[in-house]
Amino acid sequence: MSTTATPMGAEPVGGLSACGSFSGKVRHIKITSAYAATIFYGDFVKLVATGTVEKDTGTATLTPVGIFMGCFYTDPNTSQPTFNQSWPTGTVASDAMAYVLDDPDAVFRMQGDGALAQTTLGNNIAVVQTAGTVQAGRSHNSVNAGTAATTNTLPLRILEFVDGPESTVGDAFTNVLLTYNSGMHQYRRALGT
């Protein structure tokens, strides 16, 4: 039973196709040197006009290109190649590269910030943006249980409930499987970046 809030951001689990298991495939997208925001594993990111990736801080207006899965850069203090689960804010590195799960048909798990009833299955829902954990490099974003509705402008769609020892439908903090609502992923939007 999920009676404790333990948000973990977006955790990839598969894809919409029948054989859509998560294979770990990511796209490498540049991060601007000295980009001044921390990006955590499990945060949503978006492409910006400079052709680089930034944290997508939207809630009901989220328009991501995917989920941040880590990054590579040359550490400016040690001059060593560095692989990290999070992007440390302000890091100066001309070779900074994000690893992004950019599949518009990705399925991912997130925790609700409250209870989600069976009647919310198939509804759209907004995101709650919360600061991640620097030590673990993990996102603490969740979905906003109070926004679950048929509203077509909400960014995520509830596909399933995680039913097991950790969570069941209607728990205080229900875990759900989600995908992007139609047209919210940047690759599916008519308007370019």
DSSP string across 67-129: EEEEEEEE-TTT--EEEESSBPTT---TT-EEEEE--TTEEEEEEBSS---GGGTT-EEEEE-
Q: Please give the pLDDT value at position 20.
A: 61
Residues 86-113: tens digit of each pLDDT:
999 999 999 999 999 999 999 999 999 9
**Residue 35: how many CB atoms within 10 A of its CB?**
24
Average pLDDT, the chain: 93
Answer whether residue 126 is part of any domain.
Answer: yes
Answer whether residue 75 is part of any domain.
Answer: no
Distance, first Cα to last Cα, the chain: 41
Answer whether residue 129 is part of any domain.
Answer: yes
Answer whether residue 144 is part of any domain.
Answer: yes
- Asked if residues 73 and 88 have their Cβ atoms less than 8 Å apart, the reply is no
Q: How many domains does the chain have?
A: 1
pLDDT band at 166 (very low <50, low <70, confident <90, very high): confident
Answer whether residue 162 is part of any domain.
Answer: yes
Rounded to 10 degrees, what is the CA torsion of 49, 51, 55, 57? 20
Q: Name the nearest CA neighbour of 120 among 176, 62, 164, 165.
A: 176
Q: What is the domain range of residue 134?
A: 105-188
Query: Phi-psi category of 187—alpha, beta or left, where left has phi over 0 and alpha has psi -120 to 50?
Result: alpha
Report the share of the chain in percent with pLDDT over 70.
96
Answer whether residue 160 is part of any domain.
Answer: yes
- Tokens 């599916």, residue located: 188
Over range 142-153, report the average pLDDT.
96
Q: Please give the pLDDT value at position 2.
A: 60
CA 35 to chain centre: 19
Please state which of the ranges 10-14, 96-100, 142-146, 164-168 shows the lowest mean pLDDT: 164-168
Q: Is the pLDDT of residue 19 over 70?
A: no
Answer whether residue 149 is part of any domain.
Answer: yes
Residues 41-52: tens digit of each pLDDT:
999 999 999 999
Answer whether residue 91 is part of any domain.
Answer: no
Over range 8-36, report the average pLDDT.
87
